[in-house]
Structure formats: structure tokens, C-alpha cells
């Protein structure tokens, strides 16, 4: 079946491309647009490595068709920070050893970003529940939770200072 | 993990969606959140030539609580069910159960309509809707009709819905009394090994009415009239709970799979039901 015209806003930039409707969003991002931050872990909707932010929600981009995403606004890890200006979450993952191999990290941070938008001052238990769609095979989670709690504290302090 | 090719449709009204389902018959499938259907398509266990995406149909969204009746649009997501303050107040059972479904990412995408229309015995909402005695409204080429959740499920993936019908909304009366949803799963994000939805009303220390439904313990959800009756008139003591558990065990039909053998599942079903009854009773 033919390709269709797809428009996306990815990390603030408008993109237009042709894709078969059955192509998955993760493949469009990685292969058509060269955005390789979101990873393919399980490809079966379980691990969260492919998590991106779509229209203000964390989604597993291996479980979204390109056609469904037509018109959507998408943020990936590349849109949160870069080596010259890390996002607070990236800083805190670095500071608190929230990553080892780093494979799960883009998904973790993109999910944590949305979670903290919805719950800016979470308890440890709320962080664990809010992050339960993301699996890590290295860290044992402890330092990921620490990093997210530290990032929340930093973000709240910055907000207070600004007021 | 690439599904077969299909043609993609994004109608903007129920009528337009029904027209597409009618035109393409069993080659077409509605797409809601996609978190049951897309995995099946990737595994090529679902063969779909025309995918009818419901995301642009605004009338399928929303939660209304009015005069003791709750109406929820099919495209309302699990995330929205959890975060709706009026619903949480009127029917806290929905929130308690929704929080035990899947994980945050899946709950942003997965819809109530998709969960109840899917027909997978592992889905939590069908049993919950049987417990609440909900009614589903289906729209087809000849107009709308209603089917009770307790009559909707025929076998795994077989329901009373025709291929050219859309499930548009779910309706039920806000229950009185105590409630509980108790689910045993291997890990967060897993389907139930066994789950129990319970509603209980009490008056003067005695149970006056009860509703019990079990999930993933047969090829359809199991609403247990006999288990509910075992509680009515009792003081919800251990003997009554034991009688309800025994009645439930003879109504379920679990199968051995990677969640365990039949004996284990039957045992777990008894444990979750006893816990759910006690919690519901303490809230009644
Ligand atoms: C990792 C993971 C864990 C999960 N864990 C759980 C769990 O613990 N409990 C649970 O209940 N679910 C679980 N799910 C399933 C999830 O809740 C699904 O989102 C839900 O079952 C289907 O909803 P959907 O909106 O995604 O539907 P879809 O996948 O889009 O559709 C499902 C089926 O229903 C049909 N359909 C959808 N909407 C309509 C409609 N309005 N009218 C007619 N037919 C329609 C579709 O054609 C399809 O056949 C899990 C999913 C994943 C990926
Ligand atoms: S790759 Fe998408 S959830 Fe694992
Ligand atoms: S750091 Fe290796 S998987 Fe998480």
C-alpha cells in the first residue's frame, strides 16, 4: 500500500516525510529523521527504551504507527538538552550515577521529564510508580530514583528563586 | 516486528467510522489506543487491511457524572479515568482498578472502549464493568443498540459486537457502599494472574447487596451471582467469605499457562476475592 504524507513537529522543528502507514514512529524517528536518542529495546511495548513525549504524554514509540502520529508534536531526549547545555535531569543522572550502559537512559529521562511536569514534588514511592513503564538492566533503579528526586528538588529551587 | 500493510483511515465522526466498517467488513478494524491491537498486528496475529483510527472523533471522548449515572466515552483513556476528580468521587472503584492496569505509558494510550471491546480475558475493565452492571452502547449502520456488559462476552476475542459496529460509550449507575479491586500479578504492568472486583452494601451490620466479578480466570470475565448471594444477609464474617470464595471457585475455569497451573490460579483467585471482600466491607 502506498506511502502517505506525514507532518510532525519534532523538538520544535516541523518535519514532512513520506512513510507507509504501518511504519512505527520509532523507525520514522531513527531511520527517516536520524533522531537516534530513543532506542529500540524490546519492540514489544514493555521496556520503555523507545519512550518519547507525544502531545504532552509519554508514549512507547514502538507501539504507535507513523500514521497515528501525523500532526503530532513530539519531544525526544535530543529536545531536552545537548552536550553544551544539559537538562537538569541529565545533570542529575550524571551526578547520581543514574546510568551505566546508558541504553535505557533516553527513555528514562524523557519519561521522568513528563512525570515531573505532572507531579513536580513527588515522593520516592510516586517516582517508582511513575517510572514503572521503563526497565533498566544495569542500575538496580536506586540511583535513577535518586537522580529524579534530586532533579525535582533542583527544578523546584530554581522555580522559587525565580519568583 | 513490522506488521502487514494496511490502509489508514481517520474519520471525524461516528457515522463516517461506521460507514468505513460497513464498507470494508471483516477487513477493517477500529483503532483506539492501539496498545492491544498494534502488538497483535506486529506479531501478525491480527490481519487488518483497513485500520479505522478513532482519534479524531471528539464525541467519543469524555466523562459525565449526572444524577447518579456515569457515562464514559469509548475513547477516554485510562490516564483520564484516573485523573477525573468527579469520577474518582462518584466511583472510586474505577480509579483503584485503573491504577493497577499496565504502566503509565500504556495508560496514556489505552482507552476504556478498547479495553472492553477487545475481548481478551486478561483485560481488567470487562470484569469491572460486569461488577458495576454497566451497559455498552454500540452504533451500527441501523442506529444504536445497548448490550449489558454481563451479556457481551462470548469467548476469548468473541463479543456481541458486530464487525460494523462501534462501541461508543459505557454507562452505569454510581454504586453505593464499599468497593475494592484486588489484583495479583507477577510484576507491575502484567495482566492478572487473578483479579476480583467487589461492591458491597451494608445496613445494620448486615450485607444487603453484593456484586462480584473475576478476571483472567476463564475465557470471559466471570460475574458470580452465587458468590454475591452467599454474602447477602450475612455479617460478612469469615464463614460468609468462605462460602462466597467456594461459590466463586466453582464458577471459574482457569487454564494452565505461564502464570501458573490451575491449582495455583484457583488458590490465588480465593486469596484475592477474600481480600477484596474484606476491603470492600471495611469501606461499606
Ligand atoms: C505492556 C502492556 C501491559 C498491559 N497490561 C494490561 C493490564 O494489566 N490490564 C489490562 O486490562 N490491559 C492491559 N494492557 C492492554 C491495554 O490496557 C490496552 O490499551 C487495552 O486493552 C486496549 O485499549 P486500546 O485503546 O489500546 O485499544 P486498541 O488496541 O486500539 O483496540 C483493541 C481492540 O478493540 C477494538 N476497539 C477499540 N476501540 C473500539 C471501539 N470504540 N469500538 C469497537 N471496537 C473497538 C479494536 O478494533 C481492537 O480489536 C496492557 C498493554 C500493554 C502494551
Ligand atoms: S522498544 Fe518500545 S517498549 Fe521496548
Ligand atoms: S543503564 Fe543499562 S539498561 Fe539502564
pLDDT at B184 over 80: yes
What pLDDT is recorded for position B1? 79
Tens-place pLDDT, residues B42-76: 999 999 999 999 999 999 999 999 999 999 999 99
Which CATH number belongs to the domain containing residue A124 in this structure?
1.10.150.120
Give the confidence band of A2 by pLDDT, cuts at 50, 70, 90. Answer: confident
Of B6, B38, B53, the CB nearest to A63: B38
Contact B207, B274 (CB under 8 A): no
Same domain, B220 and B267: yes
In a domain, B204, yes or no: yes
In a domain, B84, yes or no: yes
* φ, ψ of residue A83 in degrees (nearest 5): -55, -25
**What would the mean pLDDT of B106-113 be, rounded to a whole number?**
98
The DSSP-derived string for B230-278 is HHTTS---HHHHHHHHHHHHHH-----BTTB-HHHHHHHHHHHHHHHHH
Tell me the C-alpha distance between B172 and B71, whole Å: 7
Query: A25 CB less than 6 Å from ligand 2?
Result: no
A145: containing domain:
88-158
Contact A155, A88 (CB under 8 A): yes
Q: Which of A58, A79, A100 is the last residue of a domain?
A: A79
Q: Which of A15, A44, A79 is the last residue of a domain?
A: A79
The strands making up B63-66's β-sheet, listed across from edge to edge, are: B63-66, B69-73, B166-173, B135-140, B143-148
Count of the separate structural domains present in chain A: 2
Tell me the C-alpha distance between B91 and B26, whole Å: 36
CB contact under 8 A, B6 and A21: yes
CB contact under 8 A, A130 and B104: yes
> How far from chain centre, in Å, is Cα B35?
15
What pLDDT is recorded for position A1? 63
Same domain, B18 and B104: no
3-state secondary structure of B153: strand
Q: Which of B143, B173, B203 is the last residue of a domain?
A: B173
Same domain, B126 and B44: no
Same domain, B13 and B85: no
Q: Which of B128, B155, B173 is the last residue of a domain?
A: B173
- Closest atom of ligand 2 to A41 CA is 1
In a domain, B18, yes or no: yes
Q: Which of A56, A79, A102 is the last residue of a domain?
A: A79
From B47's Cα to the closest Cα of chain A, the distance in A is: 12
Give the confidence band of B203 by pLDDT, cuts at 50, 70, 90. Answer: very high
Which CATH number belongs to the domain containing residue B35 in this structure?
3.30.43.10
Tens-place pLDDT, residues A16-56: 999 999 999 999 999 999 999 999 999 999 999 999 999 99
What pLDDT is recorded for position B66? 95
Tens-place pLDDT, residues A120-137: 999 999 999 999 999 999
| Angle between the N-to-C axes of helices A88-95 and A105-118, in degrees from 0 to 180, rounded to the nearest 10 | 120
Count of the separate structural domains present in chain B: 3
Q: Under 8 Å CB-to-CB from B146, ≥6 apart: which residues?
A: B135, B136, B137, B138
Q: Under 8 Å CB-to-CB from A113, ≥6 apart: which residues?
A: A53, A75, A80, A87, A89
Of A21, A23, A132, the CB nearest to B104: A132
In 3D space, the residue among A63, A60, A8 whose CA is nearest the CA of residue A32 turns out to be: A8
Same domain, A116 and A153: yes
In a domain, A163, yes or no: no
List chain B residues with CB under 8 Å of A130: 104
Of A44, A51, A67, the CB nearest to B105: A51
List chain A residues with CB under 8 Å of B10: 67, 70
The DSSP-derived string for B45-81 is -S--SEEEE-TT-GGG--EEEETTEEEEETT-BHHHH
Helices assigned H by DSSP within chain A = 25-27, 66-69, 77-80, 88-95, 105-118, 124-130, 142-162
* φ, ψ of residue B56 in degrees (nearest 5): -95, 5
Closest ligand to Cα B183 = 1
Same domain, B158 and B74: yes
Cα radius of gyration (chain B)? 19
Same domain, B72 and B165: yes
Q: Under 8 Å CB-to-CB from B135, ≥6 apart: which residues?
A: B146, B147, B148, B149, B170, B171, B172
Which CATH number belongs to the domain containing residue B189 in this structure?
3.30.390.50
From A149's Cα to the closest Cα of chain B, the distance in A is: 18
From A72's Cα to the closest Cα of chain B, the distance in A is: 12
The residue nearest atom 2 of ligand 3, judged by CA position, is A101
Same domain, B100 and B137: yes
B81: containing domain:
61-173
Tens-place pLDDT, residues B236-256: 999 999 999 999 999 999 999
Mutation for testing the A interface, residue in B27, B34, B105, B106 having most A CBs under 10 Å: B105
Tell me the C-alpha distance between B269 and A144, whole Å: 35
With a threshold of 0.90, does the pTM exceed it? yes
Same domain, A96 and A51: no
Same domain, A127 and A74: no
CA-CA distances (angstroms) from residue B94 to A22, A119, B125, B250?
Answer: 33, 21, 9, 27
Same domain, B103 and B168: yes
Task: Give the sign of the dihedral formed by CA A13, CA A15, CA A21, CA A26.
Answer: negative
Same domain, B169 and B209: no
Query: A82 CB less than 6 Å from ligand 2?
Result: no
CB hemisphere CA count around A149 (13 angstroms)? 14
In a domain, A137, yes or no: yes
Give the residue numbers in A contacting B (CB under 8 Å), as ranges: 1, 4, 20-24, 43-46, 48, 51, 57-60, 62-65, 67-68, 70, 111, 115, 129-133
In a domain, B1, yes or no: no
Amino acid at each position: 500500500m502506498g506511502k502517505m504524507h506525514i507532518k510532525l513537529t519534532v523538538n520544535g522543528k516541523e518535519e514532512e516525510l513520506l512513510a507507509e502507514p504501518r511504519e512505527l514512529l520509532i523507525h520514522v524517528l531513527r531511520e527517516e529523521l536520524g533522531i537516534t536518542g530513543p532506542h529500540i529495546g524490546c519492540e514489544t511495548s514493555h521496556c520503555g527504551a523507545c519512550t518519547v513525549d507525544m502531545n504532552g504524554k509519554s508514549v512507547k514509540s514502538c507501539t504507535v504507527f507513523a500514521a497515528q502520529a501525523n500532526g503530532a508534536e513530539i519531544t525526544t531526549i535530543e529536545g531536552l538538552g545537548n552536550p553544551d547545555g544539559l537538562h537538569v535531569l541529565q545533570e542529575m543522572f550524571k551526578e547520581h550515577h543514574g546510568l551505566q550502559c546508558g541504553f535505557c537512559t533516553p527513555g528514562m529521562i524523557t519519561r521522568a521529564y513528563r512525570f515531573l511536569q505532572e507531579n513536580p514534588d513527588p515522593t520516592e514511592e510516586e517516582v517508582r510508580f511513575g517510572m514503572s513503564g521503563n526497565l533498566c538492566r544495569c542500575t538496580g533503579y536506586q540511583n535513577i530514583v535518586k537522580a529524579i528526586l534530586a532533579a525535582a528538588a533542583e527544578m523546584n529551587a530554581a522555580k522559587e528563586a525565580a519568583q | 516486528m513490522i506488521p502487514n500493510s494496511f490502509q489508514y483511515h481517520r474519520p471525524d465522526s461516528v457515522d463516517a467510522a461506521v460507514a468505513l466498517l460497513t464498507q470494508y467488513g471483516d477487513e477493517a478494524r477500529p483503532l483506539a489506543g492501539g496498545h492491544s491491537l498494534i502488538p497483535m498486528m506486529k506479531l501478525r496475529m491480527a490481519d487488518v487491511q483497513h485500520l479505522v483510527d478513532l482519534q479524531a472523533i471528539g464525541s467519543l471522548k469524555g466523562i459525565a457524572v449526572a444524577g447518579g449515572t456515569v457515562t464514559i466515552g469509548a475513547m477516554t483513556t485510562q490516564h483520564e479515568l484516573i485523573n477525573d476528580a468527579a469520577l474518582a468521587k462518584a466511583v472510586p472503584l474505577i480509579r483503584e482498578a485503573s491504577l493497577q492496569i499496565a504502566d503509565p505509558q500504556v495508560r496514556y494510550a489505552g482507552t476504556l472502549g478498547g479495553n472492553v471491546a477487545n475481548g481478551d480475558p486478561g483485560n481488567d475493565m470487562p470484569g469491572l464493568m460486569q461488577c458495576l452492571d454497566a451497559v455498552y452502547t454500540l452504533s451500527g449502520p441501523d442506529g444504536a443498540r445497548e448490550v449489558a456488559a454481563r451479556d457481551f462476552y462470548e469467548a476469548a476475542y468473541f463479543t456481541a459486537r458486530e464487525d460494523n459496529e462501534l462501541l461508543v460509550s459505557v454507562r452505569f449507575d454510581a454504586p453505593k457502599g464499599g468497593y475494592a479491586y484486588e489484583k495479583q500479578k507477577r510484576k507491575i504492568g502484567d495482566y492478572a494472574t487473578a483479579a476480583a472486583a467487589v461492591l458491597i452494601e451494608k445496613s445494620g451490620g448486615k450485607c444487603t447487596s453484593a456484586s462480584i466479578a473475576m478476571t483472567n480466570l476463564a475465557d470471559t470475565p466471570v460475574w458470580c451471582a452465587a458468590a454475591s448471594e452467599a454474602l447477602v444477609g450475612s455479617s460478612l464474617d469469615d464463614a460468609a467469605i468462605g462460602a462466597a470464595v467456594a461459590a466463586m471457585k466453582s464458577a471459574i475455569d482457569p487454564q494452565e499457562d505461564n502464570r501458573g497451573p490451575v491449582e495455583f490460579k484457583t488458590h490465588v483467585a480465593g486469596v484475592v476475592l477474600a481480600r477484596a471482600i474484606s476491603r470492600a466491607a471495611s469501606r461499606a
